Each structure stands twice: as structure tokens, then as C-alpha cells.
Amino acid sequence: AGSQIQGAAGIPRRSKRRKSIAIAYEPGQGDGPEPQRPRWEPRDWREQLERIREMRRSRDAPVDEMGVQKCYDSSAPPQVMRYQVLLSLMLSSQTKDQVTSAAMLRLRRRGLTVDTVLQMDEETLGQIIYPVGFWRNKVKYIKQTTAILKQKYGGDIPSTVEELVQLPGVGPKMAHLAMHIAWDSVSGIAVDTHVHRISNRLKWVKKETKNPEQTRVALEEWLPRDLWREINWLLVGFGQQTCLPVNPRCSQCLNQDICPAAKRL
């Protein structure tokens, strides 16, 4: 299941690092830099994107109402909020937003913090999060990850993608979403099954990609960085409502005339 990735209010922003400045060649200095080739872009992508924005205007998909950005306690201390964001992402893998939201609500009623989860036995934790997908594995991952957060990060979550993906049960998509929601930092495009599927249907990748991580790399090569923040949210909701995995509702899609995969009647 996907999750909205708009920055969470109340969670302190990270200090932005200074960007490295490219050194320009002075006139007459050697041969100068290699001329850049024109960047590849998918056909009609700007129009396709604008039409998807139009279709998502009502913000009434499951991701909008029960996505990760709705699962944490916004009145909790920032460190606790960040932990809850990470846990909701771990639960959301291969699980519908409705199921993740309900599991998070049950956890929060117990007082969802690093310490309360460490004190909880695996059987109890399993009973609380069931029926999320692969709940038995997630019980183990949550316990292991929470112990690492306590020992290595003082109960907080890491602030880099590199450290986040080292945690048990945390993949690249979750890491980029955690950076965005918990730290308000755009580190990359979060690609789940919806984004992966739709990107291939729209031919937003040069050649067909086999998994979400390949799709992330392919999208980041051409999609302007200022669009990275919204693309997950847009495509997840679009995939939940219109561009379905099976029997996509092409007749209801504004992109029907310019989508390579559209079923035209």
C-alpha cells in the first residue's frame, strides 16, 4: 500500500546541507567540459501528469484518508512521531491502507513508543497488528528495529536513507517516505507497486522495469526534482481509484487518449 508523503507539520525540519557547487571552466582552459546530451523525457508526460493532478483533485482515495501521514499521533513529541511514522511504514508493506490504519490505531491506544514496544512480548504485538500482511515477520522486524533504535539512536529514527535501509524490515520505499514525512527531506522518489505499475503503463521509464527499485532509479534520471515530493501521493491514489492493477478504468481516465497502455473502446 502506498502512503502520502507530504511533510508533517510539527516535526522539526532537518538543517539543509550546503549543496556542492560545480566548478566552471574558465575560457581557454583545456577543452572544457563534455557537451551534455539532451535528457531523455517520456512523450506527453507533462500533460499526463497534469491530468492525473486533475483526477486526484478531490483527495478521496484511501491513501488520502488512511495513509501513513494520518497514522501517527500529531500531539506526541517529535521523536515519538517519527517512530510512529516508521512503524506505520513497516506495517504498510503489502497491506491495504485501511488495515494499516486500524493496526496503528490499536497500537497507539497502548501508548506507542519505543519503550512500550520493547516491553511488549511478540505474541501480544502479533495480536495487535494482525491482520496486516506478513504480520509474523513484521513482529520480528519491529522488535529488532525498535531495539536498534533504542541502543544506537537514543530512541529516535535515523536521518539518512543509508541508515534507514539497514534496519530490519525497512526497504528503500519506506526509507524515502520516512525521510519525507518524518524529517521533511526529499531524498528520492518513493516507489511502491502503484507507482511502479503506472510508470510502466505510461512509459515513464526508457525500458520496462522489473521492480519498484529499478523504477525509482529510472524516474529519478529524468523527473524534475521539484516533482519528487508529490509523485508518490499522486500515483498511489490514482492507482487505487482509476489505474487499477486488474481491469483499469481506462474509460474514466482523462489520459485515455495519450496513454500507451489505455484500452480504447
What is the set of active-site residues? 173
Smallest CA-to-CA distance from 16 within 245, 225, 183 is with 183
The answer to whether the bond into 62 is cis (omega within 30° of 0) is: no
Helix (H, G, I), strand (E, B) or coil at 58: coil
Q: Which one, of 67, 42, 96, 38, lies nearest residue 181 by Cα?
A: 67
Place of cell 500507451: 260
**CA dist list (Å): 70 to 27, 63, 67, 124, 256:** 54, 9, 6, 24, 32
Is 175 strand, coil or helix?
helix
| CB-based contact 149:170 (threshold 8 Å) | no
Q: How many CB atoms lie within 10 A of CB 27?
A: 6
Give the Cα separation of 46 and 105 in Å (integer).
38
Q: What is the distance between the alpha carbons of residues 203 and 158, in angstroms, rounded to a whole number?
A: 34
List CB contacts of 188: < 8 A, sequence separation 6 or more.
161, 172, 176, 179, 216, 220, 228
DSSP three-state, residue 156: coil
